[in-house]
């Protein structure tokens, strides 16, 4: 087995047994990236020099008896996570040459645990999109079929994990941006409970919805990453002082007596029959292992998309107001200040970002605030209550992650509404602030991955990990790899 | 509540976004499609429903008002498109 074929858990064991060095492991990934990146474009920036330096330091640390859950392990980071000294673009012209003077808290945590950062992965610009087609630096291709999208907005991270460009990656999720690309690329992705992971250093899109989470080849690897990044942070006043459980210990808890809810509103027209079938089979498999299945209802599901597109865009319009060409980033030439703002933002932002800023500005503007923004906040309360109600009778809710498998590049680019519908099963989770995991549950006839989503109560990531692990161990999905990516290395 | 072209111009101005006439027409159509979809929210009875601004029951998270080191000035200015005399330089603001 080549080093780049190892899972994060296997690589950690191999390094601990001195079978492999971090430098060898890192070089293995860098060579693979060099050969296959041109056809997949998962990365915005590959930092070979920084990665090898960190790998050397990790090997030295280990030689001196040092340890750490991620010591010497090569990872990739979505390019909206601030990395000190390494450019962070958010896949936008606005930040094309921006180099942060600080590390995001999660990046600090990964480095303290000994991780090696291979580079920054591609995303939809400022995390706004569901296909990574909105990147200002080119689309990422799905490793399972390069004519198709990897999903978005964390498409680069999902593709990098699926293609074996890194052991695991971090993504961010505001309306499904970890889970949907995980589903389309056949990997595991978790959005934690809102407040579980510090957002300090994550370039903000929608502050009441954004969360950072792991993307990995299997549940164990994802849990290892969560253990490192979860926790309260004084630098993020929206992070919560809730003790982080031992996720590794929780993995093997099994599912005996676990009550699984199937929400009737999620199994409707527009859902690909192959996706529905794979998800139902997965739930049946969990039932055989001792779980019980119950019908539940999330009555306000039909309003989730509208609520999200009013609240998230309103918050984005505020968060993106800082990009004005004054202190950093792109600046357009102008004779006076306001025209400088207007031209900088017109030229620096792509069309989807501008569309969302305008929608959000409108929803907040005088005369429309009550009708749109406030109303959406009220419906958000109802959506959150739907989940509270359902979780009185079940412990996890099972749904498809996405209504279809990976669609073709360009297929949905012309109609924003069609693109927005890709997030229809994931958006409710961000609005309710609860955690959810996507994991592979099959392939369609075209060989494209299908994702199962499990949604849990706030702060019950352990339950999600144990249910996901139990299902995963009875299947072979996690061992499948995309074929024909390029020359054998 | 359809957006007019004047509405689009007004919003663009608030958002400090210069738009072309073609963009004005395109955004008007696309924004209206999204707002039409959102019209489904008007039918709900929300009279007894409080708005959710923030999903967690967190309020007024405090910290001690203690001084700690700031970013060194060179780092603050390192990404500046234009700087002079230790400041960010911008076009004229006041006549």
Give the one of A326, A361, A376 whose C-beta lies nearest to B15's C-beta: A361
Q: Total structural domains in chain B?
A: 1
- What is the reported pLDDT for B79? 97
Nearest to A4 by CA among A188, A215, A182, A167: A167
Provide the shortest C-alpha distance from residue B49 to chain A (in Å). Answer: 6
- Please check whether residue B28 lies inside any domain of the structure: yes
Look up residue A404 and give its two tokens: 């279809």
Whether residues A362 and B11 touch (CB distance < 8 A) is answered with yes
| A150, A184 contact by CB (below 8 A) | yes
| A25, A11 contact by CB (below 8 A) | yes
Q: Which residues, in sequence order, are bridge partners of residue A453? A: A399, A438
Nearest to A232 by CA among A193, A198, A191: A198
Instruction: List, for residues A192-241, the tens digit of each pLDDT value.
Output: 999 999 999 999 999 999 999 999 999 999 999 999 999 999 999 999 99
| A128, A420 contact by CB (below 8 A) | no
Q: Is A441 on the interface with B (CB under 8 A)?
A: no
- What is the reported pLDDT for A363? 92
Mean model confidence pLDDT for chain A: 96
Q: Among all residues of chain B, which has the CA nearest to that of A431?
A: B55
**pLDDT > 70: what percent of chain A?**
99
3-class SS at A264?
helix
Give the pLDDT mean for A69-74.
97
Mean model confidence pLDDT for chain B: 92
What is the DSSP code string of A3-69? GGGS-HHHHHHHHHTTSS-HHHHHHHHHHHHHHHHHHH--EEEE-HHHHHHHHHHHHHHHHTT---T
Instruction: List, for residues A252-274, the tens digit of each pLDDT value.
Output: 999 999 999 999 999 987 789 99
Whether residues B44 and A303 touch (CB distance < 8 A) is answered with yes
Measured between alpha carbons, how far is A43 from A17 in angstroms, rounded to an integer?
A: 31
- Please check whether residue B19 lies inside any domain of the structure: yes
- pLDDT: which is higher, B62 or A488: B62
Give the pLDDT mean for A392-421.
91
Query: Lowest mean pLDDT: which of A6-20, A166-180, A360-374?
Result: A360-374
- What is the reported pLDDT for A487? 58
CATH of the domain at B15: 1.10.20.60
Q: How far is CA A435 from CA A72, A195, A309, in A?
A: 29, 10, 20
**pLDDT > 90: what percent of chain A?**
93
Whether residues B81 and A325 touch (CB distance < 8 A) is answered with yes
Task: Name residues 2-61 of chain B within 8 A of A (Cβ).
Answer: 3, 7-8, 10-12, 14-19, 23, 27, 30-31, 33-35, 37-38, 40-42, 44, 46, 49-56, 58, 61
Class of domain A3-256+438-449: alpha beta
Q: What is the pTM of this model?
A: 0.97
Give the pLDDT mean for B42-51.
94
3-class SS at A142?
strand
Give the one of A302, A358, A381 whose C-beta lies nearest to B52's C-beta: A381
Q: Is A433 on the interface with B (CB under 8 A)?
A: yes
- Please check whether residue B56 lies inside any domain of the structure: no
Interface test with B, best of A240, A331, A359, A382 (most B CBs within 10 A): A359
H or E segment and range at residue B13: helix B5-14
- What is the reported pLDDT for A198? 98
Residues of A annotated catalytic, as ranges = 78, 153, 177
B44's CB contacts (< 8 A; 6+ apart) are A303, A379, A382
Tell me the three-class secondary structure of A176-243, residue by residue.
CCCHHHHHHHCCEEEECCCCCECCCCECCCCCCCCEEEEEECCHHHHHHHHHHHECCCCCCCCCCCCC
Q: Which residues of B touch A342 (CB under 8 A)?
A: 16-18
Give the pLDDT mean for A78-105.
98
Every domain of chain A and the residues it spans: 3-256+438-449
- Please check whether residue B27 lies inside any domain of the structure: yes
* Enclosing domain of residue B23: 5-41
Instruction: List, for residues A278-317, the tens digit of each pLDDT value.
Output: 999 999 999 999 999 999 999 999 999 999 999 999 999 9
| Residue A385 pLDDT greater than 80, yes or no | yes
Whether residues B27 and A337 touch (CB distance < 8 A) is answered with no
Whether residues A345 and B18 touch (CB distance < 8 A) is answered with yes
Residue A390 DSSP one-character state: H
| A258, A395 contact by CB (below 8 A) | yes
Q: Is A354 on the interface with B (CB under 8 A)?
A: yes
| A475, A259 contact by CB (below 8 A) | no
> Residues A399-409, buried b or exposed e (16+ Cβ, 10 A)?
bbbbbbbbbeb
- What is the reported pLDDT for B1? 53
Whether residues B56 and A365 touch (CB distance < 8 A) is answered with no
| A437, A188 contact by CB (below 8 A) | yes
């Amino acid at each position: 087995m080549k080093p780049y074929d190892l899972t994060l858990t296997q690589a950690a064991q191999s390094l601990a047994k001195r079978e492999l060095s971090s430098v060898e492991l890192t070089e293995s990934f860098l060579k693979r990236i060099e050969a296959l990146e041109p056809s997949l474009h998962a990365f915005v920036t590959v930092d070979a020099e920084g990665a090898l330096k960190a790998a050397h330091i990790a090997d030295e640390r280990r030689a001196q008896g040092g340890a750490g859950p991620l010591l010497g392990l090569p990872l990739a980071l979505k390019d909206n996570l601030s990395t000190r000294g390494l450019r962070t673009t958010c896949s936008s012209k606005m930040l094309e040459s921006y180099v942060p003077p600080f590390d995001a808290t999660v990046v600090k945590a990964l480095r303290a645990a000994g991780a090696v950062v291979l580079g920054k992965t591609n995303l939809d610009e400022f995390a706004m999109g569901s296909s990574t087609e909105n990147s200002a630096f080119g689309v990422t291709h799905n490793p399972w079929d390069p004519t198709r999208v990897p999903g978005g907005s964390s498409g680069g991270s999902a593709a990098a994990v699926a293609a074996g460009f890194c052991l695991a990656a971090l993504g961010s999720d505001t309306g499904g941006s970890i889970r949907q690309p995980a589903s389309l690329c056949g990997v595991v992705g978790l959005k934690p409970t809102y407040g579980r992971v510090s957002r300090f250093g994550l370039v903000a899109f929608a502050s009441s919805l954004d969360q950072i989470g792991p993307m990995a080849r299997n549940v164990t690897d994802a849990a290892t990453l969560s253990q490192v990044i979860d926790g309260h942070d004084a630098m993020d006043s929206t992070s919560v002082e809730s003790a982080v459980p031992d996720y590794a210990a929780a993995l093997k808890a099994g599912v005996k007596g676990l009550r699984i809810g199937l929400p009737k509103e999620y199994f409707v027209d527009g859902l690909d029959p192959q996706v529905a079938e794979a998800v139902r089979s997965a739930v049946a498999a969990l039932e055989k292992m001792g779980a019980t299945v119950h019908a539940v209802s999330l009555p306000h599901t039909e309003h989730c998309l509208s609520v999200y597109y009013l609240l998230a865009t309103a918050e984005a319009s505020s968060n993106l107001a800082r990009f004005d060409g004054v202190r950093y980033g792109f600046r357009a030439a102008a004779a006076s200040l306001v025209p400088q703002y207007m031209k900088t933002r017109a030229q620096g932002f792509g069309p989807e970002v501008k569309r969302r800023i305008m929608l959000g500005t409108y929803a907040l503007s005088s005369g429309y605030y009550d009708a749109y923004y406030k109303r959406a906040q009220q419906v958000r309360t109802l959506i959150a209550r739907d989940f509270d109600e359902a979780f009185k009778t079940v412990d996890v809710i099972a749904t498809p992650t996405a209504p279809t498998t990976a669609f073709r590049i360009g297929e949905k680019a012309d109609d924003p509404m069609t693109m927005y519908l890709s997030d229809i099963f994931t958006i409710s989770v961000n609005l309710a602030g609860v955690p959810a995991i996507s994991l592979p549950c099959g392939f369609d006839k075209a060989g494209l991955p299908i994702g199962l989503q499990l949604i849990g109560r706030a702060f019950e990531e352990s339950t999600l990990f144990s249910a996901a692990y139990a299902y995963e161990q009875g299947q072979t999905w996690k061992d499948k790899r995309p074929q024909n990516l390029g020359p054998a290395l | 509540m359809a957006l007019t072209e004047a509405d689009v111009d007004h919003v663009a101005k608030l958002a400090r976004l210069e738009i072309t006439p073609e963009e004005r027409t395109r955004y008007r159509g696309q924004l209206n499609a999204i707002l039409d979809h959102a019209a489904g929210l008007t039918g709900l009875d929300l009279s007894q429903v409080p708005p959710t601004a923030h999903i967690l029951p967190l309020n007024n998270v405090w910290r001690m008002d203690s001084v700690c080191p700031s970013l060194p000035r060179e780092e603050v200015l390192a990404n500046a498109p234009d700087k002079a005399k230790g400041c960010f330089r911008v076009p004229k603001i006041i006549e």
